[in-house]
Structure 1
Amino acid sequence: MSEALRIELHDKTQGRQVVTSRLLPWLGQQLEAGREIEVIAREIEDNRSFRQNAFYWGYVLKSISQQAVIDGIGSDEQGWNFFFKRRVLGYRVTKTRVPGSKRPRITRELRSTKDLKVKAMSDYLEQVLSIGATEFGVTFEIKDWESYQGYWK
């Protein structure tokens, strides 16, 4: 199997130049070598934004930590972050074959908000806000990250 070619196209002029100078020659080489090619094109998604992160840590988790308790016990922002990651994002489960073992080793890793793109982080924030308000009675004056003007320290 040959290496894949990954290119990013950012505007019409740059896109045309990259397609003609890199993509088409690469495709020609692969096809001449008898390889079958799959081409997938998709929109580039940015990773979660600094403003989303600031809103999450500096406002949402801070508000929840100041107002919410479970069985009479509250937590700081770190504790609530862990709570919501477990509840909303869950775990990534992997199976690995280990030499000398008949059964695969199963590991669980808590998913992180660091891996979320802007849209997925927006959805995550909506769920956290909803759970905070409906289950714990937390009141939020600011409802979305796009209107948040504060900073996270």
Structure 2
Amino acid sequence: MTAVSLFGTTFQNSVLLASGTAAFGREVRGVIDLDALGGIVTKAVTPEPRQGNPPPRVAEFAGGMLNSVGLANPGLAAARTRELPWLAANLRRARVLVNVAGGSVDDYVSVIEGLTDLAVISAFEINASCPNTDAGGLEFGATPDGLRGLVRRCRRAT
């Protein structure tokens, strides 16, 4: 496959695992060669650990499936000290993108500020589908102004 450059970052190929499909990589290490990918987008990272929604989290039907995982994740501290160092030690060529989530703009900024110095991270993916608790639960990406404000603050944090 051909290398691809996007916003100043070069990926060895255009195959990236979507957010959460491989969690933080350990879960699929014996199934696929993560380093053969262009990159892996991690499971969401929030400031604090989240248990996520209670089961059942997935409903299958003839036309597809629905899921409601609830952003279960180990939180910023564990991502920084356990998950991302594992990726740094086990990937040589594949890029790491961290999915960032939160209930407020400050949550997103705190995660980015807490991780931005880690060399293993090539980029952050902003999970704009999260409900903004400061705006009555409206998703950050539901309005252009809401999304613009979120992205602006996140970019300043890098």
TM-score bracket, shorter-length normalisation: under 0.3
Which has the larger Rg? 1
1 or 2, which has the higher strand percentage? Answer: 2
Structure with larger RCO (C-alpha < 8 A, sep 6+): 1
- In the superposition, the TM-score normalised over structure 2's length comes to 0.24
1 or 2, which has the higher helix percentage? Answer: 1
